[in-house]
Amino acid sequence: MSAGSSMFEDGVADIRASAPAGASPTWERWKVLAWLCCLSVFTYIGRVGISGQIRENIEFNLHLVPKLTAYAISAFTLSYALFEVPSGWLGDRFGPRKVLTRVVLCWMFFTALTGASWSLASLVFFRFMIGAGEAGAFPNIARATREWFPYRERGLAQGYVWMLARFGGAIAFPSLLVLTELFGWRWTFVVIGAIGVVWVCFFWARFRDTPAQDPKVNDAERALIADGKRDTSKPAPISWRTLLLSPTVWFLLLMYFCSNAGWSFFVSWITPYLEGDLRLTGMKLALASGSPLLCGGIACFLGGFLTDRMVRALGRRWGRTLIGTIGYGFAGALMLVAFKVTTHHAGLALVAICLSSFSKDIGMAATWAITIDIGQRYAGTVSGLMNSFGNMSQVLSVPIVAQLASLAGTAGHPNWKVSLYYYAAMFFIAAVCFVFVDPRRTVVYSTADRLRLEAEGALTR
């Protein structure tokens, strides 16, 4: 038996010995997950705020066209990408409770102000500020997952988070349509922003950064969450040199860049594609716009369930990456199928797009679990870096696709179908990159610090 394995088993024995004999673990970690899932729903409702049919109302009132609206959509993702790493680092430094509270306060304030937009410039500004405020949400959710869930449950926890995020985006399309018809698009943004008020109040009062800070968590649940990890009296600093020289990190960043470039279709130009190429209108259009996200949400949960079990069967190397590699390959192929049948088989095209979203998102939980695996106590920073690259691809992809559709179409009638080639190519590249991601070793510590932490039993598996 290796020294590292012996230290790990000793850590498990020491922690379990501190728990009362026969005591059952409490379930506080699942209550924490409920808070995180609610937050993920809020973020996606706001994210697709100007991507559905409400976009047409905004364009009519502000005298815009899709090529100009693209700048407002990209403004959100630009600021979101720029502030992801700092916000993730802040969560590692001060804990996710403070950062997530700041996220929701900024999100609800600037979302409400979006209703006051009077020009393209003002719309771009408000969307930029929403992105800056919302940045760090998912990196800090990942950081909280690392503190509150044992290794064997992290994939499932991330699966729940991303399932609810996708469901939030799916329900946003028909919900925003109804709210816009009732209150107009300006007051709709005020209503959306007000949702966060109640959440913030209860979250701040009840959420704690770690199980040790929550008196409702018993010793048995703390032992289960710790999973053999010992605290070290000397926390190691992050090694940016190790992080930035890691091939796994760069393949992970490129994979997520291409992943989000392909996925951007589902929160940007899917509505004009369905409207222009598949001839859908009204509530049918709203429901169809959200259906790929609904399918993606189901895949996120299923993928989280599967990756934890695949790790037990295949080990971390392929248990985390195989599901994503296969999923992205199918996602790209299904986009090509959608392109082929768009003109003559609208229903089949929509089914292919929904299945593409499903295939892409089957690896989502595994992707974010990898950032926790390799990031350890700096999971917020690592996941923030990955999400920053991913959102930067959306900054580029949204206007690029708008230009492609405009060039391929006729005056006033963009050809959105041609963009499916672009999205398919992004998914294929992501599938290849996932093969080269290795989640078996942490990438945030220097060699000396990693060896010390392993000897102290302070690293999780």
Pairwise CA distance, residues 216 & 333, whole Å = 49
241-274 per-position pLDDT tens digit: 999 999 999 999 999 999 999 998 988 888 888 8
The Cα–Cα gap between 308 and 30 comes to 17
Single pTM value for the model: 0.80
Report domain 28-227+247-442's class: mainly alpha
- pLDDT tens for the chain, residues 1 to 461: 333 333 334 434 444 444 455 578 899 999 999 999 999 988 887 777 676 667 778 888 888 887 788 788 788 888 988 999 999 999 998 999 999 999 989 888 998 899 899 999 999 999 999 989 888 899 999 999 989 998 888 889 999 999 998 888 888 878 888 888 888 889 988 888 888 888 888 899 899 999 999 999 999 999 888 875 655 556 788 899 999 999 999 999 999 999 999 998 988 888 888 888 888 888 888 888 889 989 999 999 999 999 989 998 998 889 999 999 999 999 999 999 999 988 888 889 999 999 999 999 999 999 999 998 898 889 899 999 999 999 888 888 888 888 888 888 776 678 888 889 999 999 999 999 999 999 988 888 888 888 877 777 666 55
AA letter at 386: M
Summarised one tens digit per residue, pLDDT across range 123-153 is 999 999 998 988 889 999 999 998 999 888 8
By three-state DSSP, how is residue 413 classified?
strand
Q: Which two tokens mark 411?
A: 């005056």
119 by Cβ neighbours in 10 Å (0-12 / 13-18 / 19+) ranks as exposed
Dist. CA 135–CA 130, nearest whole Å: 8
Domain segments of the chain as ranges: 28-227+247-442
Q: How far apart are CA 215 and CA 220, in angstroms?
A: 13
Short-list 253, 204, 215, 289, CA closest to 384? 253
DSSP character at residue 410: B
Where do runs of H (alpha helix) occur along 48-152? 54-62, 66-94, 96-114, 120-134, 137-148
